[in-house]
Amino acid sequence: MTKRLENKIAIITGSGRGIGRACALRYGQEGAVVVVNDINAENVAKVTGEIVAAGGKAISYPADVTDPAQVQAMVDRAVSEFGRLDVLIQNAAISNTNKRPGQSVEEYAATTRPSNVSLDEMRAVWETNVFGVLAVYQAMLPLLREAPQARIVNVSSGVGSLTASSDPAYPWRAIFGPVYPASKTALNALTIAMAIELEPEGIKVNAVSPGFTRTNLNGYAGTETVEEGAREAVRVALLGHDGPTGTFTRWENATIPW
Ligand SMILES: NC(=O)c1ccc[n+]([C@@H]2O[C@H](COP(=O)([O-])OP(=O)(O)OC[C@H]3O[C@@H](n4cnc5c(N)ncnc54)[C@H](OP(=O)(O)O)[C@@H]3O)[C@@H](O)[C@H]2O)c1
């Protein structure tokens, strides 16, 4: 197999499990030096070990992306260990902080409507899914600028699509609310802003949706495997010089309306 990421440095946030882990394993197979980041240090060590055991290159960077000091420590390490960053996958996210065990997505959505949502709950989710992404972007940008063809992939979700959620026929319309879905809408807005900012420098910034994937995020209710969920992020990170920026797609290269 041709290793398409040979010697590239790739940081994947939230890669201790789920879709991020599947991206990390795949990047290891593609020859990247995979920087495994997650809030859960035990999972970071486990995934790093899995990549190395499979013959790949990986390094552990446990950190909470909502903690500025921990993000800065990651950057300081990356500056001294690599001096550049080729690929940044912004994958870390949470769907809630207070869903009761056994509570369905629909039941949780009913408690997080604009009229009754806890502002603390909304802030907590946006802290990881929106502000955490922006903080990592700002911190890592100097390193990305040192790479010849840097790529940023923001892992979003189809449920963040305003166009889809405005369509009465959209199956997820009923769960559109201020917490997780709107955090992904905000992430989409950040994606466009980042793509516009970096277009003159040739750094491509794209958003992807993994599809409904079996992970902890949705209580393992999803229908896709994590390997399937990881495919679009992997594809977009490999876009060449002529590839697009500022897109929102699902596998394989199917455009999702903003
Ligand atoms: N699963 C789906 O159906 C689906 C659909 C659309 C979009 N997505 C998106 O896909 C991405 C991956 O989600 P997933 O389904 O793989 O969920 P997951 O299995 O819960 O993985 C998310 C990972 O991010 C970590 N994380 C959470 N907060 C963090 C923080 N502050 N700093 C660093 N790491 C943090 C989690 O740590 P813990 O292990 O401690 O929780 C976990 O390992 C997310 O952006 C999600 O929104 C998923």
Residue 212 Cβ < 6 Å to ligand 1: yes
Instruction: Tell me the two tokens of residue 196.
Output: 């516009």
pLDDT digits (tens, 9 = 90+) for 119-156: 999 999 999 999 999 999 999 999 999 999 999 999 99
Average pLDDT, the chain: 97
Of 9-13, 98-102, 147-151, the poorest mean pLDDT is in 98-102
Does 180 qualify as catalytic in the annotation?
yes
Cα 92 to middle of ligand 1, angstroms = 5
| Band of pLDDT at residue 104, cut at 50, 70 and 90 | confident
Torsion of CA 118, 119, 121, 123, to 10 degrees: 170
CATH assignment of 9-255, given 3.40.50.2000, 3.30.365.10, 3.40.50.720, 3.20.20.80? Answer: 3.40.50.720
Domain limits, the chain:
9-255
Whether the predicted model's global pTM rises above the 0.85 cut: yes
Radius of gyration (Cα) for the chain, nearest Å? 17
What is the distance between the alpha carbons of residues 242 and 258, in angstroms, rounded to a whole number?
22
What is the distance between the alpha carbons of residues 178 and 129, in angstroms, rounded to a whole number?
12
What is the distance between the alpha carbons of residues 163 and 165, in angstroms, rounded to a whole number?
6
Among 11, 12, 15, 19, the mutation site with the greatest number of ligand 1 atoms within 8 A of its Cβ is 19
Cα 49 to middle of ligand 1, angstroms = 20
What is the distance between the alpha carbons of residues 150 and 155, in angstroms, rounded to a whole number?
16
- In ligand 1, the atom with minimum distance to the C-alpha of 17 is 43
Nearest CA to ligand 1 atom 32: 64
